[in-house]
A and B are shown apart, each in its own frame.
Chain A
Amino acid sequence: MSDTVDATNTPGEKSGPVLAADGTPLKRSLRRALRRQKMSALLLIAPLLIFILITFIAPIADMLFRSVENEIVQDTLPRTTAILETWDSESGSIPDAPVFKALYQDIFIAQERKLHTRLGSRLNYELTGASSLFRKSGRGVGDIGEVYQDQFEDMNAFWKKGENWNDILGSDAWLAEIKSWKKSSGQAQPPFELRADIAEILPETAAFYKIFADFTQNEKNSNLYKKDPWELIYSSFYDDLTGANAARIDTYTGPGAAELSEAKTAAASFETVDYKVAFGDIDKDWVKMPIWDTIRAYSPRFTNGYFLNAVDMQKSEDGPELRPENQRIYYTLFMRTLFMSSVITISCILLGYPVGWILANLPARTANLLMILVLLPFWTSLLVRTSAWKVMLQQQGVVNDTLVWLGIVADDSRLALINNQTGTIIAMTHILLPFMILPLYSVMQTIPPSYLRAAKSLGATNWTAFWRVYFPQSVPGIGAGSILVFILSIGYYITPEIVGGTTGTFISNRIAYHISSSLNWGLAAALGAILLAVVLGLYYAYDKIVGIDNVKLGG
């Protein structure tokens, strides 16, 4: 097919390529013309395509991504999770001191950024109590660092002042700039630069000071030069002074070299902090296994935890396992949602088919009038319609009153028609019925009455004619209506919430709860993803069994 083959054919031969008027091979010029057509068609629909991609697919993709996304743990506790990787969780003993030190550093930074409570909420989904544990720890970490801060400051007031710290840690060029900078000038604050070699002399201090400087300058928008450092800087300073590299401090000759040397000597006899004990004092949960197991289990950037939760499972030492029976709920709800959606779909078929038939066989004018009646419910608010069912179906409601008045039901045994599955099925069948009638009607309209006549003339009884000839031709309408009704009802949550009581609620009610109330969007996304997969699976099954070309929304 390639045009090189065509072009290499010797011209003049009868088998050579057909040429267009200008001498180019016909195939090539045809292809060019078609391509141009396709391009311009694509350009025409491009805005719409982009619009749909951005507004339709991107948010759904983003939401589904949340069902596995779990970066918050690693982002908030980077040092802790890094060290925890080497911790043997099966040893049965809680992690060692270095982990607690890292935890202190992580939580300190997180609480300054107000991120620790967010992590607490996240982990609370997995471990009850994590929320207050992190809130408390956020308040507590300040006290831990104060131990060193106080000792340094008591030793020499030099260490109190932010200027002195900056003089030691900042580069000379930066210091010159920051000293002449004024906030009121409106110019951007010169970004902090570390003094050369200081990262080797005071590695820990320098590293955390950089974080502090970045936070102060960019998030707090305060003048770093005047800002007194965090407690965390003091504890890391102590670590540097007493650490393996302490000897190199003597090589330092910059500003404050004398104070630094003095501090190094003094630090050796400082009171120290046992981070493990300190966290145990904040909350004894820190010296128990569950929180560490949880942090470790949810350290990775991606997790299957939400999906496990969505199918009533949880992580455990030995891999995923079923949750305790008194916490299993989603399987029941999924099954109930599918079951009730099917019942609603079938009710809609049973009620909608005769209506569609009548509409399709009436003269156009009458049919249009009746069609308005079918569509009327669309013109009323969903809440109003659902609340109307409440008035109708409740025990002192219209239906029960009528039944009692007719003597069908005794006054003391009124029927429970609402706040249960019955209520949901009745109200949702009513609300979704038009979605069944419309496709049925438009498909039935296209079935000429002559088919039924032909069948009868061939000897079929009314029933056979209907069942063998009319019904099969209306199946595409039933298919389209059923898909619409089924999928709509799977996602409905307002009506079940109002009339469903406890036995008539759907999985979507839980999704709504997690989206708007518990803020567990990851779990909501996982439930949504499963629901989507189930619907796609059913759609696939439908395609296999009935054939998707057998779905028609109209003629």
Chain B
Amino acid sequence: MADTSATNAFVEFERVQKSYDGENLVVKDLNLSMPKGEFLTMLGPSGSGKTTCLMMLAGFETATHGDIRLDGKSINNIPPHKRGIGMVFQNYALFPHMTVAENLAFPLEVRKIGKSVREEKVKIALDRVQMGDFGGRRPAQLSGGQQQRVALARALVFEPELVLMDEPLGALDKQLRETLQFEITHLAHELGITVVYVTHDQTEALTMSDRVAVFENGRIQQLAPPDQLYEEPENSFVAQFIGENNTLEGVVKEIKGGTCLVQLDGGGLIEAKPINVTQAGERTRVSIRPERVEFNKDRMPEGAHTLKAEVLEFVYMGDIFRTRLRVAGTDNFIIKTRNAPDQVRLQPGQQIEIGWLAEDCRALDA
């Protein structure tokens, strides 16, 4: 799945495995390759192995098997402090006994950089995150967002080419998180650094990254740019994990050309795009995004398959309406419609007919 053949790879994982107890593999056969300057996010539920991968890259965990390369050189046996990788931690890990400026000066000091140069660099780094006036403060005197900015500045001040970020925005409120998401991507692209970003927040992953690696159960399930990930999930886990998704289970009846026919368990026959089904008789999960479902007969696309549905619940969410339906035996079918002046507001109990285009409906693994 992952692209391992890139010749200009800056960070490379090759057949990396990791086990803590000698019985279970936390990371199973990881292969990954990133070009310089890429912003890559490792996304996945907790326990999926994404943080372990980051820690192996940083040098705080050793790979049980396999090779990790940085700029073409294997770094398996290089201690963390010699790897030259900047890192931003979940709880910022700002040294509480040092001022902001001292925190920033620390990596320069251990690199034996002269005082004047050091001060210069600290100033630039702080200005870059709009924290220029806070050099004399202690971390405890700063707000969460300010601490995060300082942590970022500290990770960048010694000009590393690779920066790792371990759920850095997890503790912040939504609004601040969005501001910082923008600032981080902006900075990363401006400085041309390579970033590996770990999060379990898919919105964050989609909005920030060049590519997203979706982790589950120690494996990368899909590695792709955000739009591709959302629109073309390669398996039902990714489809389920990224964004909201409707799933209908059934059996493949027939595959022909670019489409297949699926007999749903709850009754009804629908047309879908075969992704990882190969032959008739296989069980499958069919995935349809809620916003691709239409119920307005006037707007129903040409040649759309339709199913009968009963409205169970209508939720007004401001910009959109979210309606829950009973379709083909499942009570959990969601549709989303834009709040427009001519939009119909469905009433619970209403019997409607819904439909979609066959190419928006992906037949995935069961």
Instruction: Determine whether A and B are in direct contact in the complex, meaning some CB atoms lie less than 8 angstroms apart.
Output: yes
Nearest A residue (CB) for B166: A450
CB distance B93 to A459 under 8 Å? no
A91 within 8 A of B: no
Chain A residues in 8 Å Cβ range of B158: 458-459
In the complex, A454→B164 CA distance in Å?
11
Return the chain B residue nearest A476 by Cβ.
B97
A473 interface residue per 8 A CB criterion = yes
Minimum distance in angstroms from A15 CB to a CB of chain B: 34
Q: In the complex, which residues of chain A have a beta carbon less than 8 angstroms from the beta carbon of B82?
A: 459
Tell me which residues across on chain A come within 8 A of B83, comparing CB atoms: 457
Q: Across the two chains, which residue of chain B brings its CB closest to A457?
A: B87
Q: Let me know if B299 is at the binding interface, CB within 8 A.
A: no
Is A456 a contact of B81 with CB atoms below 8 Å? yes
B89 touches A464 (CB 8 A): no
Report yes or no: A457 in contact with B85, Cβ–Cβ below 8 A: yes
Q: Residue on B with the closest CB to A470?
A: B95
Task: Tell yes or no: A448 within 8 A of B by CB.
Answer: yes
CB < 8 Å: which of B80, B154, B155 contacts A456?
B80
In the complex, how many angstroms separate the beta carbon of A448 from the nearest chain B beta carbon?
7
Contact present for A453 and B106 (CB under 8 Å): no
Is the C-beta of B126 less than 8 angstroms from some C-beta in chain A? no
Residues of chain A lying within 8 A (CB to CB) of residue B155: 457-458
Q: Are A458 and B97 in contact (CB under 8 A)?
A: no
Q: Assess whether A548 is interfacial by the CB under 8 Å rule.
A: no
Q: Is the CB of A459 within 8 A of B81?
A: yes
Chain A residues with CB under 8 A of B97: 472-473
Q: How many angstroms from the CA of A465 to the CA of B154 in the assembled complex?
A: 15
In the complex, residue of chain A having the shortest beta-carbon distance to the beta carbon of B86: A457
A444 to B188, CA, bound (A): 35
B349 within 8 A of A: no
Q: How far is the CB of A456 from chain B (nearest CB, A)?
A: 4
A542 on the interface (CB 8 Å rule)? no
**Which residues of B153-201 are within 8 A (CB) of A?**
154-155, 158, 164
A451 and B110 in contact, given A459-B84, A459-B158 (Cβ under 8 angstroms) = no
Q: Is the CB of B93 within 8 A of A450?
A: yes
Any A CB within 8 A of the CB of B90: yes
Which of B59, B60, B80, B93 contacts A448 (CB under 8 A)?
A: B93
Tell yes or no: B76 within 8 A of A by CB.
no
Task: Contact check, B58 vs A457: say whether CB atoms are below 8 A apart.
Answer: yes
Q: Is B301 among interface residues, defined by CB-CB distance under 8 A? A: no
Residue A248 at the B interface, CB < 8 A? no
Kindly list chain B residues whose C-beta atoms are within 8 Å of the C-beta of A465. Answer: 81
B interface residues, how many (CB within 8 angstroms): 28
Q: Mark out the residues of chain B between 91 and 106 whose CB falls within 8 Å of any chain A CB in the assembled complex.
A: 91, 93-97, 106
Q: Which B residues lie within 8 Å of A448 (CB)?
A: 91, 93
Complex partner residue of A461 from B81, B91, B95, B106, CB under 8 angstroms: B81
Given known pairs A456-B80, A458-B154, the reply for A450 and B90 (CB within 8 Å) is: yes
Our pick among A453, A459, A469 for the contact of B58 (Cβ within 8 Å) is A453
* CB neighbours of A461 from chain B (8 A): 81, 110
Say yes or no: is A468 at the interface (Cβ < 8 Å to chain B). Answer: yes
CA distance A527 to B87 in the complex (A): 58
- Output the nearest chain A residue to B106 by Cβ-Cβ distance: A458
Q: Is A453's CB under 8 angstroms from B93's CB?
A: yes
- In whole angstroms, how far apart are the Cα atoms of A464 and B87 in the complex? 18
Chain B CB count within 10 A is highest, among A455, A457, A468, A469, for A457
Contacts of B107 in A (CB 8 A): 458-460
A473 contacts B93, C-beta separation under 8 Å:
no
Check: B111 CB closer than 8 A to any chain A CB: yes
Report yes or no: A454 in contact with B81, Cβ–Cβ below 8 A: no
> Closest CB of chain A to B52's CB: distance in Å?
14
Q: Find the residue from B58, B60, B164 having the highest chain A CB count within 10 A.
A: B60
Q: How far is the CA of A342 from the CA of B107 in the complex (A)?
A: 36
CB distance from B93 to the nearest CB of A (A): 4
With most chain B CB atoms within 10 A of its CB, the pick from A455, A472, A473 is: A455
Contact of A460 with B110 at beta-carbon distance under 8 Å, contacts A451-B95, A473-B97 already known: yes
How far is B96's CA from A461's CA once the two chains are assembled, in angstroms?
A: 19
Chain B residues with CB under 8 Å of A468's CB are 106
User: Which residues on the A side are within 8 Å of B58 (C-beta)?
Assistant: 453, 457
| Given A457-B58, A457-B80, A458-B158; A451-B93 close (CB under 8 Å) | yes
User: Does B80 contact A454, Cβ atoms closer than 8 Å?
Assistant: no
CB distance from B325 to the nearest CB of A (A): 46
Give the Cβ gap from A397 to chain B, nearest Cβ, in Å.
Answer: 45
Q: A457-B59, A457-B83 are in contact. List 9 more A-B contacts (CB 8 A).
A: A450-B89, A451-B95, A454-B94, A458-B86, A458-B110, A458-B158, A459-B84, A468-B106, A473-B95
Q: Which 7 A-B pairs have the closest CB atoms?
A: A458-B107, A454-B93, A457-B87, A450-B93, A456-B80, A472-B97, A456-B81
